[in-house]
Amino acid sequence: MSTPTKPIALTRFLIEAQRAGHINPDLRLLIEVVARACKAISHAVSKGALGGVLGEAGTGNIQGEAQKKLDVLSNEILLEANEWGGHLAGCASEEMDDFSKIPNAYPKGNYLLLFDPLDGSSNIDVNVSVGTIFSVLKCPDGIDELKTEHFLQPGTQQVAAGYTVYGPSTMLVLTIGHGTHEFTLDRELGSFLLTKRDLRIPADTKEFAINMSNQRHWFPPMQRYASELLAGKTGPRGKDFNMRWVASMVADVHRILTRGGIFIYPRDQKDPDKPGRLRLMYEANPMSFIVEQAGGAATNGAQRILEIQPEKLHQRVAVFLGSKNEVEVATRYHLEAQ
């Protein structure tokens, strides 16, 4: 991992990626536009109460969640920024019942953009880190009319994925399939500057992230795995583990990309029909691509998340991701119990 002495801007990074043949001009423009929208969201988030953006919107989304004003605003910012550029065929979002087509007034492109406009929205009103997560797919060639089925591609088909974390500083973490790279927003310049190239997640860790309050609802393999972590030095794992849970996936994954760890949101018996809490298309797939590109692993307890064939746009999935060796142990316990 190397930190350049004179940071390069996202624009230059993307131009160089284009010259290297890793992206084409349309995908470069798309990523630039998403980054620009994230700057606008960062600005709105940082205004907080002064911008009148905190609190409930008074509406709900298709997932049955109450929307915050910032969930709705961030969704609008991303849609508005992307609809006129000519690089997209359509968008899908956690906050929209159906995918959104590009209005007829604008040209259409070859990409599909999927996003969680504001991740960790329960943290907004308490001034804790939130984020935006996005995933880019190629639209199948030769289609007459865009349909939901065109979005239902496994995560291995992603051509780019990233997240922005709105924390003490605003950071963009991006992969275009050639490593995972971190940019920090320079607010005076208005640019994202490369601050870490090729993030690497250590294979071993002593840190885990899970909502422990759900413990009584977990299935036996999850109970087994967590009890071993909690047993500490004298237990079967022979080391003490530390726990961290921000309750914003972006912030928890960002910590794991920075210093290792395992992030878990398992399926549980509270709602056995639900295959997990997190959304495959807006959260699990992009994060899995980012984590794998940084040398980590991501499964649903049975298979690699990126190989799951999606059946629904708002599909949920169990998530085990981060340091490779821990994800392997947790997945093995689940497979053994099948």
* Residues forming the site for ligand AHG (CB under 6 A): 65, 94, 116, 119-122, 211, 247-249
Q: Which of 109, 33, 40 is nearest to 101 (CA)?
A: 109
The span from the first CA to the last CA of the chain, in angstroms, equals: 39
Please name the amino acid found at residue 240. Answer: D
| Residue 285 marked as a ligand binder | no
Q: Report the residue number, 132 or 191, with the smaller CB distance to ligand AHG.
A: 132
Q: Report the residue number, 196 or 314, with the smaller CB distance to Mn ion.
A: 314
- Which helix or strand (DSSP H or E) is residue 324 part of? helix 324-336
| Residue 120 marked as a ligand binder | yes
Rounded to whole angstroms, how far apart are CA atoms 245 and 255? 10
Question: Nearest approach, Cβ of 217 to ligand AHG (angstroms)?
Answer: 11
Other beta carbons within 10 angstroms of residue 168's beta carbon come to 7
| Residue 295 marked as a ligand binder | no
| Residue 94 marked as a ligand binder | yes
Rounded to whole angstroms, how far apart are CA atoms 150 and 160? 17
- Which residue(s) pair with 322 in the sheet? 262, 297
Q: Report the residue number, 10 or 119, with the smaller CB distance to ligand AHG.
A: 119
The closest residue (CB) to ligand AHG is 249
Question: Nearest approach, Cβ of 234 to ligand AHG (angstroms)?
Answer: 29
Rounded to whole angstroms, how far apart are CA atoms 157 and 190? 31
| Residue 118 marked as a ligand binder | yes
Binding mask 42-81 for Mn ion (x = CB under 5 A): -----------------------x----------------
Residues placed in the known binding site for Mg(2+): 94, 116, 118-119, 283
Residues placed in the known binding site: 94, 116, 118-122, 211, 283
